Amino acid sequence: MSSKSALIVSAHAADFVWRAGGAIALHAKKGYDVTVICLSYGERGESAKLWKQEGMDLETVKVARRKEAEAAAKALDVHDIQFFDLGDYPLDLSSEARDRLVDSIRAVQPSFMVSHSLWDPYNTDHMNTTRFVLEARMVAQAWGHNPGEKVLGAPQLYLFEPHQTEQMGWKPDTFLDITEVWEKKRAAIECMQGQEHLWDFYTNVAKNRANHFRRNSGGQAGGRKAEYAEGFQSMFPRTVDEL
Amino acid sequence: MSSKSALIVSAHAADFVWRAGGAIALHAKKGYDVTVICLSYGERGESAKLWKQEGMDLETVKVARRKEAEAAAKALDVHDIQFFDLGDYPLDLSSEARDRLVDSIRAVQPSFMVSHSLWDPYNTDHMNTTRFVLEARMVAQAWGHNPGEKVLGAPQLYLFEPHQTEQMGWKPDTFLDITEVWEKKRAAIECMQGQEHLWDFYTNVAKNRANHFRRNSGGQAGGRKAEYAEGFQSMFPRTVDEL
Amino acid sequence: MSSKSALIVSAHAADFVWRAGGAIALHAKKGYDVTVICLSYGERGESAKLWKQEGMDLETVKVARRKEAEAAAKALDVHDIQFFDLGDYPLDLSSEARDRLVDSIRAVQPSFMVSHSLWDPYNTDHMNTTRFVLEARMVAQAWGHNPGEKVLGAPQLYLFEPHQTEQMGWKPDTFLDITEVWEKKRAAIECMQGQEHLWDFYTNVAKNRANHFRRNSGGQAGGRKAEYAEGFQSMFPRTVDEL
Amino acid sequence: MSSKSALIVSAHAADFVWRAGGAIALHAKKGYDVTVICLSYGERGESAKLWKQEGMDLETVKVARRKEAEAAAKALDVHDIQFFDLGDYPLDLSSEARDRLVDSIRAVQPSFMVSHSLWDPYNTDHMNTTRFVLEARMVAQAWGHNPGEKVLGAPQLYLFEPHQTEQMGWKPDTFLDITEVWEKKRAAIECMQGQEHLWDFYTNVAKNRANHFRRNSGGQAGGRKAEYAEGFQSMFPRTVDEL
Amino acid sequence: MSSKSALIVSAHAADFVWRAGGAIALHAKKGYDVTVICLSYGERGESAKLWKQEGMDLETVKVARRKEAEAAAKALDVHDIQFFDLGDYPLDLSSEARDRLVDSIRAVQPSFMVSHSLWDPYNTDHMNTTRFVLEARMVAQAWGHNPGEKVLGAPQLYLFEPHQTEQMGWKPDTFLDITEVWEKKRAAIECMQGQEHLWDFYTNVAKNRANHFRRNSGGQAGGRKAEYAEGFQSMFPRTVDEL
Amino acid sequence: MSSKSALIVSAHAADFVWRAGGAIALHAKKGYDVTVICLSYGERGESAKLWKQEGMDLETVKVARRKEAEAAAKALDVHDIQFFDLGDYPLDLSSEARDRLVDSIRAVQPSFMVSHSLWDPYNTDHMNTTRFVLEARMVAQAWGHNPGEKVLGAPQLYLFEPHQTEQMGWKPDTFLDITEVWEKKRAAIECMQGQEHLWDFYTNVAKNRANHFRRNSGGQAGGRKAEYAEGFQSMFPRTVDEL
């Protein structure tokens, strides 16, 4: 496998779109194979619009949500999307699920991983996912887990932007210019038929993060003209050859 | 001015050596013009060995400290070293001193700046320097300060490693491999005749930070074989094209 | 159901008395239906006085603790008190227990909820309860959980005052004047026969929190003459029409 | 003076508009006399567009900035706007300036005050203003300062929304629905001719904060339909009669 | 000088009584020479009761406050009490005042120092005092400050208990049993005629801190029977021979 | 049992050596019975060198790791070493394991306990162990857990030094001089044949922590000449008779 790869772990089916859609499309464009894992469809907790319909049932919701997520993944040029179907609100994060995630991590051998914020009092699925990813990352690094497999190195784990960032204690240390793939992100966003109330919200976020990008890349004295951006918080230190 | 440049602001004459000597030598080697500003000589507070000599006086200490700092700067291939002579323990951080620092910042137009940690209950000079640098950086960005001069962009401010890192609330997010310039850093360290008790301390730091470098660049599964490293904390977010 | 309602979730049988007894009695007086859920009786960990008696057994302790809690609830005009009997030290917070809590939350439809601090290294039951309540609150909001039931809105979760507040990282942002119901709270406190050593402790707390109330409501220049108060930390932001 | 009053302290001439314009207009509509104090015009640091004009000088910038601020204040129905003209980048926060601020605070006797975030590494004027306001508030409460004057009570100090909230460690605990005065805020924003690049930025902020308002006031299950909102962080605890 | 010594730095005349009176009396009893420095009399900001009297003037308030403080110091067996008379609300912390404090520190050569919390948004004098003490401690350690004098070692700086501890971010890590000197502390408290409203408040504090002492010294299984205690936060790490 | 005792809980077989070997040997020398509990052998995650050998299997790794740990324990004069064999990466922290730990705690009746840092994103086993220890400590204090047994008092829980301290949010508040037992610690370290790359790393740590010891015990003006030290963070406040 010669290309670079990245792995996004999303608690519910739509999270990867709002929060990292630009990063996904941009890295796909750069030649990365980007894999998305949705731990659940968000079928119980993030599908209010569907449940308000008469006679709705769980299976129908899951199918609808999966279709949306697959369409969004396609719009973003995702290499592979996996649905773990662990249930939601709350997620059932068993040791079997963890080993499955470890298998995926080792298969992908990501250059970097992306998941949720460390804290989310509104949605414990989100913060439990991050803990779960940290644990799986650790197991994937263990030489004694499925000996003979290629162990994981030490990829960065980026935490993508949560809703209500300040309540989550999330602080971005990295802004990514997604201007050149914005149309793809907007297209993916529009696949989320059940959450139309968030389309403009996350468009505003992307525009305002671009303002932050400009401020930090030079400001009035030559900041780059990014029009859309995404923010990420790094879990681990970077190792560099030049500051 | 076509080359890149960097600016280090050191509260006392020796701080830049222990804490950023590797970064200085490495960037000099990469073609950066590195300027070091020492706000004081550390003549009162960091020259105990000299003061223990019979009949010592302030001017003699300052001269001795300056010589050491100049020798260290030379060993590190510093482009320019400036001594603001503001007094130490405590520093006298006047508005005149600030404007002088602004002038230097604008003259250098650094790609990045480096200074102290945000908190230091042992040494208020250190944390006051960081505040002072933040203020000067802001003034240097103001179009109305000395109109007509080239204003500053938005360079990163790295906080170099303080003594007793955990007491200072300092958390490195960037490890720099300084292996190829280690000999220069050690030579600069040995210029600090008055603080020989710290030579091995900071050699140990460099070796152990290299262990951290390796852990974060791949660990047992291929981390780079850095032998000496330095850690830095970033004050501002990065702006990037690729995660 | 036309009246307002509130829900208190207490890890052990007595917690709601010391920490929120005033809030309970006051809101009952204002016409709220206040429901208290005790996840355990505190039978193993908070009944030392009983266990020091010859021949004591678990069932006897539980009965005694339940009686005390019921008496206290009556003194505070609690609308309904529920005992989940999950065991204590540690609590057994199963998914069944969580669904039971979700049922109660949905049945009560509280205007606000009250529970423990986020951190408690002395007593992991306390902090685990808060996490458990956050998870149940999230599930109660899910349209796909028991479809057809009335889903929960977004009630505030107040964290009541822990023992040794500073060790718990608890910071009150709301002081409630409980002067007019103090006699009820003291009566409830005195129902806790097994923990008489805490009666005066929590009376002192109430008096000192009233001092804080006065400081924050106007100080020497007209602070309200509250004599007894309780403090609470809010988990979520408030939404208001006037500052 | 029978009406209620509020006091906003703005480091530079435009800060009060972007960050608290809605709160100002809303409380004016509710009958509050709202006073705004601009410590400087932002003449050196926040007037890049003017300085890029040929032959610009400080006095001209100050006049232009003052006109914009006065126009914005009028659009927001500000009762009184005061310009302390302390210089900017950096502010000159002398003891005379502090006593002047104390005089204004005592004259206004505000029900609440509003100022900047506690931390801002990009702009030390902002955080220095907050410290300065805390100090002036303390002096205004002192019975021995200008004895005989009416001393200040204990008004809340709200910290309005900074730029790049997460970098400032700012966490809103209060969302204010400003829908009914949005047109006024937008009109005030458009008075800021020199910073047109921020008009849409702060419109996006207001829309997205309304989303947060809805999430916290009931969410999908009946959150109020706020369309524009502002967020604030409280410095002090609230004192209440009902949770 | 063979006896041990301690130094308390109090922003206003009464602070040392409420917050460290027990520690003072206890260490005096153990043979320490305890010196108290009051930076101000609290004449403007903490003497409301006096200022409410007809025709009061600053000098009269200062005299009254000084008498109270001296009486309290006597009750606590203070070795020496010094009044720096720097003014209050706000304190005027000049470089002359700092050098005077350095002189006192060097003269006392304290085994430990005690002062205020690091943060206090209600009272900037308090937190400014702590910064001032840290700076003076640093200068007192400088071999080049008044060469020939005995330099300071590295005494612990304890932060005594502020009012409204949680708002100040103060977290005690040390509880001191003051039972055997409680009567002295109460007597000193009663010297504070102008602040009678705080007598019972701080008696409650002492009783409740004793509960915390018992909890941390063994709890129900043999915690020491302290009846009165004080809490302190350490600024620096301890150095020990046994855990 | 008349001697004092201490209990160290180590997630993996080698952790107690690197992080608390000096404290163990020193307290053994002082007459403490020191018990070490290894929750796992670190067989999967911390035995890379063994797994790189052809044909390695889990049982062989566990035996090898156990031998190393036993040899190290002997070198440190450990009184008793217990292997819980819970598996690693991740640990299986069941309620049975917890009750077993409670039994050990009660049997040992430690004067103090030692375990891992509260946070470790690299290794969730470490932070899960600390939570597990806090829970077991709480259960061991419960009079209703195995009534009739001697309940636990309130021993301090020290958190030993993690790898990459700043990433773990670990802040030492206690430095222990281990100079007199350094040879024993180095001997124990050299028992860890599989992790030779860490021998010098932790020797450097011990030397540099001794520098910190000296800084905090008197500095240039008489700090004790410790040559090797270990740092610890306290979970709970101390209770003292003298500051």
For chain F, positions 97-126, list CB contacts with chain E under 8 A.
Answer: 112, 114
Question: What is the rounded average pLDDT of the residues B69-92?
Answer: 98
Cross-sheet strand order for the sheet of D80-83: C238-240, D174-177, D229-234, D156-160, D112-115, D5-10, D33-38, D80-83
**Which of the following CATH numbers is that of domain B5-234: 3.40.630.150, 3.30.360.10, 1.20.120.140, 3.40.50.10320?**
3.40.50.10320
F64-90 residue pLDDT tens: 999 999 999 999 999 999 999 999 999
Strand partners, B113: B7, B157
Q: Do chains F and C touch (3 or more CB pairs under 8 A)?
A: yes
A201-222 residue pLDDT tens: 999 999 999 999 999 999 777 7
CB pair distance less than 8 Å for A154 and B238: no
Residue C167 DSSP label: G
Give dist(CA A27, CA A232) in Å, integer.
Answer: 15
Question: What is the rounded average pLDDT of the residues A163-182?
Answer: 98
Residue F106 DSSP label: H
CB pair distance less than 8 Å for D215 and A164: yes
Helical packing angle, D182-190 and D199-216, nearest 10°:
160
For position F1, what pLDDT does the model report?
45
Q: How far is B9 from chain F (nearest CA, A)?
A: 23
Q: Is E18 near chain F, with CB under 8 Å?
A: no
Q: Is D230 near chain B, with CB under 8 Å?
A: no
Give Cα separations from F220 to B38, B51, F217 (angstroms): 23, 12, 10
Residue E240 DSSP label: E
For position E1, what pLDDT does the model report?
45
First to last CA, chain B: 30
For position E2, what pLDDT does the model report?
52
Q: Is A90 near chain C, with CB under 8 Å?
A: yes
Q: Testing the interface with A: which of C143, C151, C233, C238 to mutate, by most A Cβ within 10 A?
A: C143
Question: What is the rounded average pLDDT of the residues F135-155?
Answer: 97
Q: Is E220 near chain F, with CB under 8 Å?
A: yes
Q: Is E237 near chain B, with CB under 8 Å?
A: yes
Place of tokens 């671009």: A210
| Short-list A181, A174, A170, A64, CA closest to A117 | A170
D119-128 residue pLDDT tens: 999 999 999 9
Place of tokens 């800084």: F215
Which chain D residue's Cα is nearest to A197? D211
Contact F12, F115 (CB under 8 A): no
Q: Testing the interface with E: which of C163, C208, C232 to mutate, by most E Cβ within 10 A?
A: C208
Provide the strand spans (E) within F144-237.
Answer: 156-160, 174-177, 229-234
Q: Find chain C residues with C-beta within 8 A of A88's C-beta.
A: 142
Q: Testing the interface with D: which of E44, E86, E120 to mutate, by most D Cβ within 10 A?
A: E44
Mention every residue, 6+ apart, whose C-beta is less than 8 A from residue F134.
C121, C124, F157, F235
The whole-angstrom distance between residue E169's C-alpha and the CA centroid of its chain comes to: 18
SS3 A167: helix
| Short-list D216, D214, D236, CA closest to D225 | D214
Give dist(CA C4, CA C25) in Å, integer.
Answer: 14
pLDDT of B10 strictly over 50: yes
For position C86, what pLDDT does the model report?
98
Contact F135, C124 (CB under 8 A): yes
Lowest mean pLDDT among A225-239, C219-233, D226-240, E134-148: C219-233
Backbone angles phi, psi at F237, to 5 degrees: -70, 155
For position E7, what pLDDT does the model report?
98
The whole-angstrom distance between residue F58's C-alpha and the CA centroid of its chain comes to: 24
Give dist(CA B227, CA B137) in Å, integer.
Answer: 34
Strand partners, B234: B158
Mention every residue, 6+ apart, whose C-beta is less than 8 A from residue B110.
B5, B6, B7, B35, B155
Contact B158, B38 (CB under 8 A): no
Q: Residue C76's CB: how many other CB atoms inside 10 A?
A: 29
Q: How far is B72 from chain A (nearest CA, A)?
A: 21
Query: Residue A133 belongs to what H/E stretch?
Result: helix A124-140
Residue F91 amino acid letter: L
What predicted TM-score, i.e. pTM, was given to this entire model?
0.97
Q: Is E235 near chain B, with CB under 8 Å?
A: yes
Q: Do chains B and A touch (3 or more CB pairs under 8 A)?
A: yes
Give dist(CA C92, CA C95) in Å, integer.
Answer: 10
Does the CA dihedral E96-E98-E102-E108 come out positive or negative? Answer: positive
Q: How far is A34 from chain F (nearest CA, A)?
A: 23
Give dist(CA E92, CA E86) in Å, integer.
Answer: 5
CB pair distance less than 8 Å for D131 and E124: yes
Question: What is the rounded average pLDDT of the residues E187-205?
Answer: 93
Strand partners, C240: D176
Q: Give the number of C-alpha atoms closer than 13 A to the C-alpha of residue E133, restricted to the C-beta side.
A: 27
CB pair distance less than 8 Å for B51 and E139: no
Q: Residue A2: exposed, middle, or buried by beta-carbon count in 10 A (0-12, 13-18, 19+)?
A: exposed
- Which of F166, F208, F215 lies closest to B172 in CB terms? F166
A74-89 residue pLDDT tens: 999 999 999 999 999 9
- Dihedral, C59, C63, C64, C67 alpha carbons, nearest 10: 170
Q: Testing the interface with C: which of F143, F152, F158 to mutate, by most C Cβ within 10 A?
A: F143
- The band of D36, judged by pLDDT with boundaries at 50, 70 and 90, is very high
Does the CA dihedral D136-D142-D146-D149 come out positive or negative? Answer: positive
Number of residue pairs across D and E with CB atoms under 8 Å?
47
- Which of C175, C220, C237 lies closest to D173 in CB terms? C237
Tokens of D224: 């109020």
Residue C159 amino acid letter: L
Question: What is the rounded average pLDDT of the residues D20-32?
Answer: 98
Place of tokens 């300071």: E152
Q: What is the widest separation between alpha-carbon atoms in chain F? A: 60
DSSP labels, D40-106 = ---TTTS-HHHHTSTT--HHHHHHHHHHHHHHHHHHTT-SEEEE----SSS----HHHHHHHHHHHH
CB pair distance less than 8 Å for C144 and A61: yes
Q: How far is A135 from chain C (nearest CA, A)?
A: 19
Q: Is E223 near chain F, with CB under 8 Å?
A: yes
Lowest mean pLDDT among A53-57, C135-139, D97-101, E2-6: E2-6
CB pair distance less than 8 Å for E239 and F217: yes
Residue E117 amino acid letter: S
Q: Domain boundaries in chain C?
A: 5-234
Give Cα separations from F94 to C88, F37, F62, F84, F86 (angstroms): 16, 16, 20, 11, 9
Q: Is A196 near chain D, with CB under 8 Å?
A: no
In percent, how much of chain E has pLDDT > 90? 93
Contact E197, E142 (CB under 8 A): no
Q: Find chain E residues with C-beta within 8 A of C171's C-beta.
A: 166-167
- The band of B1, judged by pLDDT with boundaries at 50, 70 and 90, is very low
Contact D20, D125 (CB under 8 A): no
Q: How far is D22 from chain E (nearest CA, A)?
A: 26
Give dist(CA E192, CA E171) in Å, integer.
Answer: 26
Cross-sheet strand order for the sheet of A174-177: A80-83, A33-38, A5-10, A112-115, A156-160, A229-234, A174-177, B238-240
Q: How far is E84 from chain D (nearest CA, A)?
A: 18
Give Cα separations from E42 to B233, C222, D28, D139, E73 (angstroms): 41, 20, 38, 12, 16
Q: Residue E192's CB: how many other CB atoms inside 10 A?
A: 21
Q: Is E205 near chain C, with CB under 8 Å?
A: yes
Neighbours of chain A (3+ CB pairs under 8 A): B, C, D, F
Place of tokens 């000449």: F225
E71-106 residue pLDDT tens: 999 999 999 999 999 999 999 999 999 999 999 999
For position B194, what pLDDT does the model report?
79
Helical packing angle, C124-140 and C95-108, nearest 10°:
60
* Spans of chain C below 50 pLDDT: 1
Lowest mean pLDDT among A191-200, B57-66, F108-117: A191-200
